[in-house]
């Protein structure tokens, strides 16, 4: 294939994939033993693999050599916070993050909470506290399989959804 054909196909594929709604989540972990810094990234690739009570598992993907991915190897405990439909600014912020979140930035206290060794986003629709089980490296991304250790669900908070290359809310008809 010629380069222009490849670029057109890639653009068409991205357009097609943008028509599949997905939840928007932030994966977060402590960056150091002192648990004073947090590394995090926005994802839209969260998938439930197993809902068996003995082995609840999820998977997600990160770009290869991502800042967060490097830390998940050292600290396999992390959280996945499924953002609520009012947290699009949080999604944008962690979508482009390339360094640990420092306590002096003020966001740690403002949007993060903790449960033991797990940082998570306040007011998230769902919070999964996880441990890495396996990773599979592909050419451009790494797929992480994780066991769910604990989870919290807020039935009132509706999730933020990524659809048609923008953030959306789930529409609920009246009645």
H-helix or E-strand spanning residue 95: helix 88-95
pTM score? 0.86
3-state secondary structure of 93: helix
Confidence (pLDDT) at 38: 85
Cα dihedral 90, 96, 100, 104 sign: negative
| pLDDT averaged over every residue in the chain | 85
Confidence (pLDDT) at 108: 60
SS3 letters across 53-83: CCCCEEEEEEECCCHHHHHHHHCCEEEEEEC
Check residue 164 and report its DSSP letter. Answer: T
| Structure confidence by residue, pLDDT tens digits, 82-121 | 999 999 888 988 887 665 655 555 666 678 898 888 999 9
* Domains detected in the chain: 26-162 (2.30.110.10)
Residue 60 near residue 47, CB atoms below 8 Å: yes
């Amino acid at each position: 294939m010629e380069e222009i054909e490849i670029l057109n196909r890639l653009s068409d594929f991205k357009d097609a994939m943008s028509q599949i709604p997905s939840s928007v989540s932030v994966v977060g972990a402590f960056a150091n033993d002192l648990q004073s810094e947090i590394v995090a990234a926005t994802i839209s690739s969260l998938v439930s693999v197993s809902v068996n009570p003995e082995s609840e598992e999820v998977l997600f993907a990160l770009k290869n050599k991502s800042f967060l991915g490097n830390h998940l190897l050292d600290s396999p405990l992390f959280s996945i916070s499924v953002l609520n439909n009012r947290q699009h600014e949080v999604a944008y912020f962690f979508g482009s993050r390339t360094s640990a979140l420092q306590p002096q930035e003020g966001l740690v206290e403002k949007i993060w909470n903790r449960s033991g060794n797990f940082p998570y986003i306040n007011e998230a629709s769902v919070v999964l506290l996880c441990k890495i089980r396996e990773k599979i490296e592909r050419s451009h991304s790494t797929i992480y399989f994780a066991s769910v250790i604990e989870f919290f669900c807020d039935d009132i908070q509706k999730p933020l959804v990524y659809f048609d290359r923008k953030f959306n809310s789930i529409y609920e008809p009246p009645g």
